């Protein structure tokens, strides 16, 4: 009973501090200090001796160096014409699919996710051109907004993924294996989205009006040419990782260099673009780093309070089957996603949920993919769904209308989570093949 009281106290404190509107990293630190002081009566100087080396150790993790590099890649591409090239490249190719240009949201987001690592960057970059073009051509607003919100979240799953890097560091598993594990689940979700769009448009063709002119072979050829820059970046970044030539951190640095070279060759790199993208990357990276440092301290504090062990023992006494436990965790993560963003959800929950999952016999690589899908759901659920806010900013549409349009894609993502739970090899086959145990 005492362990449950401690866990409840920590939860109430967390909700209280975040409810006050304090920054997430500050809320995590306040919870850590409060728990150690009030529950263990630990003196402040003792807390300082625990915190100082922990922060140094967490801040100097080499794996985390990939985060600012991938963020910078996304910032540079956001400020160039990558989204225009994606749309021009994909438009003639998807013309013959039911739903036509609506698939540019899905395929464009999947391609951009393969060089970005960020859901927000993917949604904003793809959406700044596709939303305007789709609405101008009288496509269904509901399908246009919903498919963009759902597909934009693929930036968290399809490698390189910032959340997967964070998970890999915290769970102490191979980031390269995690990246490989995210490929097929990402393709699965994109396929479900495109399949849903095709079914809806076959039932009601008015959702995707027919263009007057059909694209010629020349149009398709020029479309493929427009996709060359982003294809080059995908091959450089992911190819160097999977071939063993570079670690994820090294591949991120190479990817930034390749992105800069491409923007120079296409005459889009100016001092303003360079400095704006650099400062945007610094701001985002500092935010992520501060949350990670605070989360490391929170994890240590909870270990002193024996919260993870006691909660795990309490759940074990419920005698849930492995699948029942995963279903329970899924509901838990969906509820967290109503109030928190992805990285916060990951770092706050992992000290408790990972031991439970490992004890139930699940692979930590597989759980990383499952967790990211749960985090993706948070991107399209109000009131804190980042993708919803981005689309609202792009289109001026009320956020609840965007959320309702995203609901079918939320359900499809839940189906994808269920599919990879029943068939875990969807996530594990590629890393097991590329990186033999």
Q: Does any domain span residue 51?
A: yes
Distance CA 233, CA 80 (A): 14
Q: Does any domain span residue 122?
A: yes
Question: Containing domain of residue 319, as a range?
Answer: 31-434
Tokens representing 214?
A: 């059909």
Distance CA 162, CA 70 (A): 8
Q: Does any domain span residue 14?
A: no
The model's pTM is: 0.81
* Three-state DSSP string of 24-90: HHHHHHHHHHHHHHHHHCCCHHHHHHHHHHHHHHHHCCHHHHHHHHHHHHHHHHHCCCHHHHHHHHH
Query: Chain-centre distance of CA 192, in angstroms?
Result: 18
List the end-to-end C-alpha distance of the chain, in Å, as a whole number.
Answer: 42
List the pLDDT tens digit at each of the 437 positions of the chain.
455 567 677 777 777 776 676 777 787 788 888 888 887 788 877 877 877 777 777 666 666 777 788 888 878 887 888 777 888 888 888 888 899 899 999 999 998 888 877 787 788 888 888 888 888 888 999 999 999 999 989 988 998 888 898 899 888 899 989 999 999 999 999 999 999 999 999 999 989 887 657 788 888 888 888 888 888 888 888 888 888 788 888 888 888 899 899 889 888 888 998 999 899 888 877 877 777 777 777 767 777 777 666 666 666 677 788 899 899 889 888 887 776 667 778 877 888 888 889 888 899 999 999 999 998 898 888 766 778 888 888 888 888 899 999 999 999 999 999 999 999 999 999 999 988 75
Q: DSSP labels for 12-28? A: HHHHHHHHTT--HHHHH
Q: Does any domain span residue 258?
A: yes
Q: What is the sign, positive or negative, of the torsion defined by CA atoms of 316, 318, 319, 324?
A: negative
Q: What is the sign, positive or negative, of the torsion defined by CA atoms of 361, 364, 365, 371?
A: positive
Backbone φ and ψ for 16, nearest 5 degrees, come out as -65, -50
Collect all residues with Cβ–Cβ distance below 8 Å to 406 and sequence separation of at least 6.
145, 146, 149, 150, 380, 385, 387, 388
Number of structural domains, the chain? 1
Q: Does any domain span residue 18?
A: no
| Amino acid 95: pLDDT | 86
Residues 116 and 122: beta-carbon distance below 8 Å: yes
Distance CA 377, CA 374 (A): 5
Report how far apart, in Å, the C-alpha atoms of 173 and of each of 165, 303, 312, 340 are.
10, 20, 21, 24
Distance CA 314, CA 329 (A): 14
Q: Does any domain span residue 8?
A: no
| Amino acid 1: pLDDT | 47
Q: How many residues does the structure list for the chain?
A: 437
The secondary structure element, H or E, covering residue 360 is: none
Q: Does any domain span residue 168?
A: yes
| Amino acid 252: pLDDT | 84
Distance CA 257, CA 278 (A): 13
Tokens representing 431?
A: 């890393």
Q: Does any domain span residue 23?
A: no
Collect all residues with Cβ–Cβ distance below 8 Å to 310 and sequence separation of at least 6.
3, 4, 6, 7
The secondary structure element, H or E, covering residue 268 is: none
| Amino acid 9: pLDDT | 74
């Amino acid at each position: 009973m005492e362990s449950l009281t401690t866990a409840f106290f920590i939860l109430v404190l967390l909700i209280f501090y975040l409810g006050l509107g304090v920054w997430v990293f500050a809320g995590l630190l306040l919870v850590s200090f409060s728990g150690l002081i009030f529950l263990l009566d630990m003196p402040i100087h003792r807390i300082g001796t625990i915190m100082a080396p922990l922060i140094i150790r967490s801040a100097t993790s080499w794996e985390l160096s990939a985060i600012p590099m991938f963020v910078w890649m996304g910032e540079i591409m956001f400020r160039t014409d990558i989204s225009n090239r994606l749309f021009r490249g994909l438009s003639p190719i998807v013309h013959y699919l039911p739903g036509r240009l609506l698939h540019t949201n899905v395929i464009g987001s999947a391609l951009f996710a393969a060089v970005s690592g960020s859901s927000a960057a993917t949604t904003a970059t793809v959406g700044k051109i596709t939303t305007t073009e789709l609405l101008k051509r009288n496509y269904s607003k509901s399908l246009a907004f919903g498919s963009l919100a759902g597909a934009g979240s693929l930036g968290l799953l399809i490698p390189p993924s910032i959340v997967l890097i964070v998970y890999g560091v915290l769970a102490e598993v191979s980031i390269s294996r995690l990246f490989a594990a995210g490929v097929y689940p990402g393709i699965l979700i994109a396929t479900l989205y495109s399949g849903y769009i095709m079914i809806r448009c076959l039932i009601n063709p008015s959702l995707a009006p027919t263009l007057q002119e059909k694209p010629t072979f020349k149009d398709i050829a020029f479309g493929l040419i427009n996709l060359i820059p982003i294809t080059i970046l995908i091959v450089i970044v992911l190819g160097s990782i999977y071939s063993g030539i570079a670690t994820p951190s090294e591949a991120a640095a190479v990817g930034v260099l390749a992105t800069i070279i491409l923007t120079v060759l296409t005459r889009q790199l100016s001092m303003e673009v360079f400095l704006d993208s650099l400062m945007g990357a610094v701001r985002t990276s500092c935010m992520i780093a501060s949350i990670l440092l605070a989360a490391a301290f929170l994890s240590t504090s909870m270990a002193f309070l024996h919260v993870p062990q006691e909660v795990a023992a309490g759940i074990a006494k419920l005698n849930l089957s492995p699948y029942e436990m995963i279903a329970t965790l899924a509901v838990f993560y969906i509820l967290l996603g109503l109030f928190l963003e992805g990285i916060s959800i990951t770092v706050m929950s992992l000290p408790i949920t990972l031991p439970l999952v490992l004890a139930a016999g699940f692979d930590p690589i597989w759980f990383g993919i499952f967790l990211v899908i749960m985090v993706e759901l948070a991107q399209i659920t109000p009131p804190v769904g980042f993708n919803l806010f981005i689309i609202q900013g792009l289109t001026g549409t009320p956020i609840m209308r965007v959320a309702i349009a995203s609901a079918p894609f939320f359900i499809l993502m839940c189906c994808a989570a269920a599919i990879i739970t029943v068939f875990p090899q969807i996530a594990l086959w590629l890393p097991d093949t590329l990186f033999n145990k």
